[in-house]
Amino acid sequence: MHCKISIFDNDLLLTGANLNSEYFATRQDRYIYISKCDKLCEWYHGLLDRLCSLSFRVRAISEPPTKPDVDKQPLQSPKDSVQLVPGSVDPVKTPRKFRKIARKLISEYINNPQSDRDEHPGTSDTTVYPLVQIGPLGIREEERWLRGYLQDSETRNELWMTTGYFNISDEVRRGLVASQRPVNVLTASPIANGFYKSKGFSKFIPGLYRYLEERFYQQTQACKRITLSEYFRSSQDGKPWTYHAKGIWVFNRHSAMTVVGSSNFGLRSTGRDVEAQAIIVTRSQALRSALQNEVDALWKYSQKVNSKTFQDQYQMRSPLGWLLVRLCAKTKFLASMF
């Protein structure tokens, strides 16, 4: 589960951020707030209801049971704090049956023509199209849309794309190269990665993303239309911000399009996680300007990558770390975990 959706009455907040104090202080992310969008809120509420029905319930160790359908025995350990929703299938004991039921439940909902998930919130000049990506269930709306959009030879407007965790698939890379449009890609520098200076194996994760970034740079260097940049920003106390934003923007003279939500557009997002995105298309000049300002604000703290970037910054000095990074990057199964 990786999607982030917040609903307040008839207002909707789409973001890639988690509810963590760091996100409100020194962690860069994106937030788009849509007000008075009844149908859209109803649709996302229905999606969340179905995802919750496929999930475990959580309660504190000391919390007494309050519902008749919950076991009345007191919880004895942390593993007892999660319980299946009554009547649901155990994904651990019967994974195939669970996937079959889950796929049917979610697919029938998102493909229901009566669900009316496209909405024009408040005006007729802006439309929101929700997307759902759940790779393990074979639900790949975001993947299909992105493939088709990049293959559209008639659309050559400049594209801006960002992700905090750079691990895009070869298919997306080939699509960016073949799209015949200027492409700007922004990702976190190793110092802006949330795992920078962490402990255990996770301390090698920034190096893994840097290695994948370098490989992308080498594979696309001949394509002069693609510009790769890294985000780095210092706070007032000198500590670096971390970078977690993700999204796509395309602008033309009279309209704009953005993709906002939880997906990092990487192998993990497409193949393992539950992701919720939205495509927003607008002819509103005010919203178009706000989206352009968002792009400018993100790229303000960026530096373009060149060959020296991978020589002078964040060297992987540990032989063990370098071996683990290369192993993870070159093994599709392991790479899909990041």
The residues that are catalytic are 2, 4, 9
Distance of CA 176 to the CA centre of its chain: 18
Phi, psi of 91 (to 5 degrees): -70, -20
In whole angstroms, give the CA distance from residue 49 to residue 37.
18
Other residues' Cβ atoms within 10 Å of the Cβ of residue 9? 9
Q: Is the dihedral of CA 142, 13, 168, 174 positive or negative?
A: positive
Contact, 88 vs 61, CB < 8 A?
Answer: no
